[in-house]
Amino acid sequence: MAALIAENFRFLSLFFKSKDVMIFNGLVALGTVGSEELFSVVAFNCPCSPARNYIYGLAAIGVPALALFLIGVIWNNHTWNLVAECHKRGTKNFSAAATFLLFGSIMGRASVAPITWSVISLLRGEAYICALSEFVKPSSLDKFPADYGAEVLAKFPCRDVPANLTKFRDEVTRRLRYESQLFGWLLIGIVAVLVFLTKCLKHCCSPLSYRQEAYWAQYRSNEDKLFRRTAEVHSRILAAKNVKQFFGFVALDKEEKELVQEFPVEGVQPSPQWNAITGVYIYRENKGFPLYSRLHKWAKGVEGNGPTPEGHELLFLAS
């Protein structure tokens, strides 16, 4: 039971695993800020019509946020590793808590851009004012003319109002902008607290030392770079051999000729090997020695992904 509890809590290290992740999240946030500013200047245009303002204002905040969220899910490697894991091996190697936290990691990273978009939209206030201006109660405005109602209030964001209502328009706009910015600052505060608590839990629950975590991050980065570079060269040489076999010759430039001569490619890797290095990786140790990736585990000839008597396994996921 103690081991199961430790396993579930250690999965909290899914979030914000390395400095590279933080830098990437920062770049995503900055890009989202720029996009939101451009959208507000170029595209946002409140209809200033009852019943339409609310839908348009919420859509201006929610639809781009939803699109950014889905893009974040698609771009996250964990998403497709999870899909491959479920397709090839099922979820038998994960507890319910581990599966939940894995989804939490995917959702958390995908939420960076939409939260940034929502915060900037709320701090600017235009969409919020557009959406809620018609719902301001006339009775809350001192000496508001009784013959005006929601139809006129809906036009306040467009400044298309009679001259005698100008001061009321300014008051309504100021009130709604205050509410919008308040919600924006509260959202920033909530997110900041959640990030802080997550970082604290991650460091408290991690079974690795700080230096070993840093080494693991460097290993994953170097392995990924080398794998991609080698895969590109391998596929190019294999393609050259197949093209030559079809045509009888292959047109290679000088660099490609050197690659073909330097790295002889005899064949392709069988599907079981690709399946072995694809999927969600769960940090594990074999006889006291760490295995830092699925490729590392495959190279050492370690089979399976569940716990064995030989060492710690199912500790936490690589980010």
Distances (CA, A) of 26 to 2, 71, 109, 290, 312: 37, 16, 11, 31, 34
Element housing 286 (H / E): strand 284-286
User: Sign of the CA dihedral 133, 136, 138, 144?
Assistant: negative
- Percent share of the chain, pLDDT over 90: 26
Between 91 and 188, the more confident residue is 188
pTM over 0.85: no
Query: Is the pLDDT confidence value at 106 over 50?
Result: yes
Q: Would the pLDDT of 193 be above 90?
A: yes
189 CB neighbour count, 10 Å cutoff:
10
pLDDT digits (tens, 9 = 90+) for 234-250: 999 999 999 999 999 99
DSSP 121: H
The predicted structure's pLDDT at residue 116? 87
The residues, ordered by sequence, that sit 6+ positions from 159 with a Cβ below 8 Å of its Cβ are: 169
Q: How confident is the model over 298-312, as pLDDT tens digits? A: 998 886 554 443 434
| Residue ranges covered by each domain of the chain | 35-205, 210-300
Q: What confidence tens digit (pLDDT) does each residue in 130-140 have? A: 999 888 887 77
pLDDT band per the 50, 70, 90 thresholds, residue 207: confident
Q: What angle do CA 97, 103, 104 make, to 5 degrees?
A: 85
Looking at residue 315, its pLDDT comes to 42
Return the number of other C-beta atoms located less than 10 Å from residue 126's C-beta.
Answer: 19
